[in-house]
Amino acid sequence: MVKYAEFCAGVGGFRLGIDLAAHNSKCIYKNEIDEKCDDTYYRNFGEHFDSKDIFTLDVDSIPHMDILCSGFPCQPFSIAGKQKGLEDDRGKIILKLFEIIRALEPKVVFLENVANLKRHKQGATLSLIKNLFEEIGYKVYDEILDSADFGVPQSRPRLYIVAFNIKKLKNVSFHFPVGAEPKKTLRDVLVPGDNSIPISKKWEEYIDLYLGIKSADELSFQIPKTRKSLERVADNCDINDCILQIRSSGIRAYSLDGQFPTFAVSNSGGGAMIPVLTKERRHLSVLEMKRIMGFPDTFSFGISRTDSIKQLANAVCPPVISAIYDEIVRAAHFSV
């Protein structure tokens, strides 16, 4: 049995992907500081996190594992943030992970982060991470993969790092999967008539504006300059039957016959930031958003809708994790 641990586990996206790969693997340790994530994790896996704040962890308390997995915080490296990198407290988590790796020497380390980590500080941050691995005897592979190539109706490029302990594993030959499934579209995952999150009167008027039913002067409110017209319209997009998404810069329209861009929804209690389906004049449902992230329909949330969507937006896409895990098992010669 392959024993693995999840650090910065979120709601268990790595675990879902590894379970999907259907090898003989067991999660022996879970770490995550977010209490609401702990509630969701327990609801789906029947287990609570073993630890919360990674910085207070005593390395001697962590069991030995074959594979260490982590989707460590992306905000310090994201192009949407301040890009403080390792100067950000959240960015320092990768250094704590190296403390754990040095002490426990897992056979494989499997990491995920935003694609911009590869470009952060002109590549210097990724070079530092790779050098730290090499200094302690690991052979490192990194690649940006897009979830859209793995049966997920979302274009979500992410950097994946896989490092093999060459003192424990001989003749490692690893290749990232290329993805072979036909690309799913947004239309493939919609549930017609699911009005579980109805839109507001203001959204109704926005749709009327963009469909040409009303002019800006006829709206019941003063429209911001950035929303007087659609900021961006995707190729082959039918405004009568598309998805509208509020961004800080304006409202964008996405075709149902393509993939959603990187799924990120602001923590808006009123639901205003949740994508809108124009034809049915409703927000996307939590079920549809689970599908956009590649989560199973059966995945359960017992928290508010807002927190559920936030947890999904911060997760990894399980089908991509599963495909990479298959290649890790093959390359490491695990007998599973």
Cβ neighbours of residue 41 under 8 Å, at least 6 residues apart?
9, 11, 12, 30, 32, 47, 48, 49
Single out the residue of 22, 13, 59, 51 nearest to residue 35, CA to CA: 51
Residue 79 C-alpha from the chain's centroid: 15
Order of all β-strands in the sheet with 282-283: 232-233, 250-255, 242-247, 276-277, 282-283
Q: Please give the Cα distance from 11 to 9 (Å, whole number).
A: 6
Task: List the beta strands (DSSP E) in the chain.
Answer: 2-7, 25-30, 67-70, 108-114, 138-146, 157-165, 232-233, 242-247, 250-255, 276-277, 282-283
Phi and psi torsions of 68, nearest 5°: -100, 125
H or E segment and range at residue 78: none
Q: Please give the Cα distance from 99 to 94 (Å, whole number).
A: 9
Q: Could you list the active site residues?
A: 74
